[in-house]
Amino acid sequence: MWRRWSDLDRMFQAMDMLQDRMNWFVPEYGRRRAIPAWDSAQSGFKANLYDAGDYLEMKAEVPGIAKDDLSVKVQGNYLEISGVRKSDAPEGYTAHRVERGTAAFTRSFTLPSDIDTSKAEAKMANGLITLTLPKSEAAKPKQITINEGS
Amino acid sequence: MSDTKELVKREESLPERSREIPAVAPLVDIYENDDENLLHVDMPGVDKKDLTVNIDNGRLALGGVRKLETSGATQWEEFGDVEFQRTFSVPQTIDAEKIDAELKDGVLRLHLPKSEAAKPRQIEIKAA
């Protein structure tokens, strides 16, 4: 039994070694690749959410979308981002290749905490939208002072 | 058995394999008219200073690095730091001196004007 176990172990080690060798020649092998956001099969956009204690921060990819073509709605812990990606094909040109799709999209999120909607902000830069969503007072983390027992 | 393990470890710790940012091909639209070729490239989050456009010997290489500035703990992340890379073969008739690139809202618009000799010319037919 012991002998068989070590055979198995040796086999796995050989496989690990093979993978290492493969990585040596092809460093990208086995690494998760980022998928382009505007894939025809995917009608949404990619978004990240960060929690900074007092506020939530959301970043989303919205390349080529004008400020006026985007709308952001917040209510309680519900967030909705919708917009239209219009065609920017120039007039009088022949198209050889069109990979960038055009579509209307909506995506809604349930945020991990309630938002103080009056203080929510959004700004766009380089095709990314950044939302700063301050948490409502009740949802903010509070420091609790420890009282010394008598 | 322990000897083989050490051998494997040594290979793993070599410093050449430290590149972390994944490389991705950006989405591209290609248009052409009589005067120029025009490329629209999606590069969300790439700053002007992190963008490179190189043309050399009929090869056009686009590159852009996206570094996200974030604050706080990640709740979920669908995109991250990325290096956009894509190379095209372009005809030698492109006038490399007059290439014009603009970056707006995360979209790169690259104008590649054709040289005068490559433009189609209307030939006037004279009556005999």
- The pLDDT of residue B4: 54
List the single residue in B8, B19, B68 with the smallest CB-CB distance to A59: B68
Judged by phi (left if over 0) then psi (alpha if -120 to 50, else beta), residue B105 lies in left
CA end-to-end distance (rounded Å), chain B: 95
pLDDT of residue A34: 47
| pLDDT over 90 at A33, yes or no | no
- Residue B6 — pLDDT band, cuts 50, 70, 90? low
Chain B residues in contact with A6 by the CB 8 A cut-off are 1
pLDDT band at A36 (very low <50, low <70, confident <90, very high): very low
The Cα B24–Cα B18 span in angstroms is 17
Residue A16 binned pLDDT confidence (cut-offs 50, 70, 90)? confident
Q: Do the chains contact at B8 and A17, CB–CB below 8 Å? A: yes
Q: Determine the Cα–Cα distance for residues A23 and B12; give it in Å rounded to an integer.
A: 9
Which pLDDT value is given to residue A4?
Answer: 75
Quick one: what percent of chain B has pLDDT higher than 70? 85
Q: Is the Cβ pair A49, B27 closer than 8 Å? A: no
Q: pLDDT tens for residues A87-100? A: 888 889 999 988 88
For the stretch B62-111, pLDDT in tens is 999 998 988 889 888 888 899 999 999 988 888 888 899 999 999 999 99
Model pLDDT, residue A142: 82
Confidence of residue B3 (pLDDT cuts 50, 70, 90): low
Residues B45-75: tens digit of each pLDDT: 999 999 999 988 889 999 999 989 888 898 8
pLDDT digits (tens, 9 = 90+) for B15-34: 554 457 888 899 999 999 98
ipTM of the complex: 0.72
Residue of A nearest to B103 (CA): A126
Token pair, residue B45, equals 């989050």
Higher pLDDT, A150 or B26: B26
DSSP state of A36: P
State the CB neighbour count (10 A cutoff) for residue A122: 17
- The minimal CB distance from A61 to the residues B47, B76, B79 is found for B79
B15 vs A: CB within 8 A: no
pLDDT at A129: 94
Q: Which residue of B has its CA nearest to A17?
A: B8
CB B33 within 8 A of CB A93: yes
Long-range CB contacts for residues A18-21, cutoff 8 Å, separation at least 24: A20/B8, A20/B11, A20/B12, A21/B11
Cα–Cα dist B27/A100, whole Å = 6
* pLDDT at res. B94: 87
**DSSP letter at B114?**
B
Going across the sheet that includes B28-32, the strands are A94-98, B28-32, B36-42, B107-113, B100-104
Average pLDDT over residues A92-110: 89
Question: With an 8 Å Cβ cutoff, are A93 and B31 in contact?
Answer: yes
DSSP H/E element including B110 = strand B107-113
* Interface contact flag, B105 A27, Cβ < 8 Å: no
Q: Which amino acid is at B23?
A: A
Task: Quote the DSSP letter at residue A37.
Answer: T
Residue B14 has pLDDT above 60, yes or no: no
Answer yes or no: do B24 and A24 touch at CB < 8 A: no
Of A11-20, A37-46, B94-103, B118-127, least confident by mean pLDDT is A37-46
pLDDT at A110 over 80: yes
- Model confidence at A27, pLDDT cuts 50, 70, 90, reads low
Question: Does the structure show a pLDDT above 70 at B5?
Answer: no
Contacts of A8 (CB under 8 A, 6+ apart): none
What pLDDT is attached to residue A37? 43
Q: How distant, in Å, are the alpha carbons of B6, B66, B96, B115 from that of A38?
A: 45, 17, 30, 34
| C-alpha to C-alpha distances, A101 to A35, A129, A144, nearest whole angstrom | 14, 19, 51
Predicted local confidence at residue A102, as pLDDT: 85
How would you write A61-93 as a 3-class SS string?
Answer: ECCCCCHHHEEEEEECCEEEEEEEECCCCCCCC
